[in-house]
Amino acid sequence: MSIYGQIKEKFVMPNAYSDWSKYREKVTGLIVNGVEHEVIGYDAVSAGIAKKKMVPIYKDGLSIVILGAGACSDIDLVEILQHFDEVTLVDVDGDSMAKAIEWLPEMYKEKITLKTASITGINDVDYKEFCDDIIQEVRLCGNVITHEVYIALLLKALERVEAKMFTSDAELQSELLPPAGYDVVVCLGVHSQLMALLSYTLQVLTYNVSRQLFDGIEPEMDEVMEKLKSMNSRVIPVINSAILKCSREKAVFGCEYDEKNPVEGAYQCIVDLRSRHLEVTEKHLQWNFNPEKNVIYDMLIQIV
Ligand SMILES: C[S@@+](CC[C@H](N)C(=O)[O-])C[C@H]1O[C@@H](n2cnc3c(N)ncnc32)[C@H](O)[C@@H]1O
| CA of residue 122 to ligand 1 center, whole Å | 13
For residue range 159-205, list pLDDT tens digits in order.
Answer: 999 999 999 999 999 879 999 999 999 999 999 999 998 999 999 99
| CA of residue 128 to ligand 1 center, whole Å | 17
Distances (CA, A) of 28 to 36, 225, 246, 301: 15, 34, 20, 11
Going by alpha carbons, the residue nearest to atom 18 of ligand 1 is: 118
| CA of residue 70 to ligand 1 center, whole Å | 5
Count of the separate structural domains present in the chain: 1
Domain assignment of residue 114, given as a range: 3-303
Burial readout 222-256 (b: 16 or more C-beta within 10 A, e: otherwise) = eebeebbeebbeebbbbbbbbbbbbbebbbbbbbb
Going by alpha carbons, the residue nearest to atom 12 of ligand 1 is: 68
For residue range 6-40, list pLDDT tens digits in order.
Answer: 777 777 788 999 999 999 999 999 999 988 766 77
Question: Does residue 80 line the site of ligand 1, with CB under 6 A?
Answer: no
Question: Does residue 240 line the site of ligand 1, with CB under 6 A?
Answer: no
The 8 Å CB, 24+ separation contacts for 286-289 are 286/22, 286/23, 287/20, 287/23, 287/74, 287/189, 287/256, 288/19, 288/20, 288/22, 288/23, 289/19, 289/20
Please state the separation of Cα 144 from the chain's center in Å: 40
Question: Does residue 232 line the site of ligand 1, with CB under 6 A?
Answer: no
Question: Which atom of ligand 1 is nearest the CA belonging to 96?
Answer: 27
Question: Does residue 177 line the site of ligand 1, with CB under 6 A?
Answer: no
The 8 Å CB, 24+ separation contacts for 286-295 are 286/22, 286/23, 287/20, 287/23, 287/74, 287/189, 287/256, 288/19, 288/20, 288/22, 288/23, 289/19, 289/20, 290/13, 290/19, 291/19, 292/15
Question: Which atom of ligand 1 is nearest the CA belonging to 70?
Answer: 27
For the segment 131-138, the average pLDDT, to the nearest whole number, is: 92
- Bridge partner list, 39: 58
Question: Which atom of ligand 1 is nearest the CA belonging to 188?
Answer: 3
In total, the chain counts a number of residues equal to: 304
Going by alpha carbons, the residue nearest to atom 1 of ligand 1 is: 189
Based on the number of CB atoms within 10 Å of its own CB, is 125 exposed (0-12), middle (13-18) or buried (19 or more)? exposed
In angstroms, the CA 190 to CA 6 distance is: 21
In angstroms, the CA 95 to CA 109 distance is: 16
Question: What pLDDT is stored for residue 276 in this prediction?
Answer: 95
On the question of pLDDT at 137 being above 70, the answer is yes
Under 8 Å between Cβ of 234 and 166: no
Question: Does residue 19 line the site of ligand 1, with CB under 6 A?
Answer: no
Residues 6+ apart with CB under 8 A from 55: 42, 43, 45
CATH assignment of the domain containing 181: 3.40.50.150
Question: Does residue 72 line the site of ligand 1, with CB under 6 A?
Answer: yes
DSSP string of 176-245, one letter each residue: T--TT-EEEEEEES-GGGTTHHHHHHHHHHHHHHHHHHSTTPPPP-HHHHHHHHHHHHHHHHHHHHHHHH
Going by alpha carbons, the residue nearest to atom 19 of ligand 1 is: 118
Under 8 Å between Cβ of 88 and 77: no
pTM of structure: 0.89
Smallest Cα–Cα separation from 10: which of 204, 265, 255? 204
- Bridge partner list, 43: 55
Question: Does residue 118 line the site of ligand 1, with CB under 6 A?
Answer: yes
For residue range 225-274, list pLDDT tens digits in order.
Answer: 999 999 999 999 999 999 999 999 999 999 999 999 999 999 999 999 99
Question: Which atom of ligand 1 is nearest the CA belonging to 122?
Answer: 19
Under 8 Å between Cβ of 96 and 121: no
Question: Does residue 236 line the site of ligand 1, with CB under 6 A?
Answer: no
For residue range 50-99, list pLDDT tens digits in order.
Answer: 777 777 666 668 999 999 999 999 999 999 999 999 999 999 999 999 99
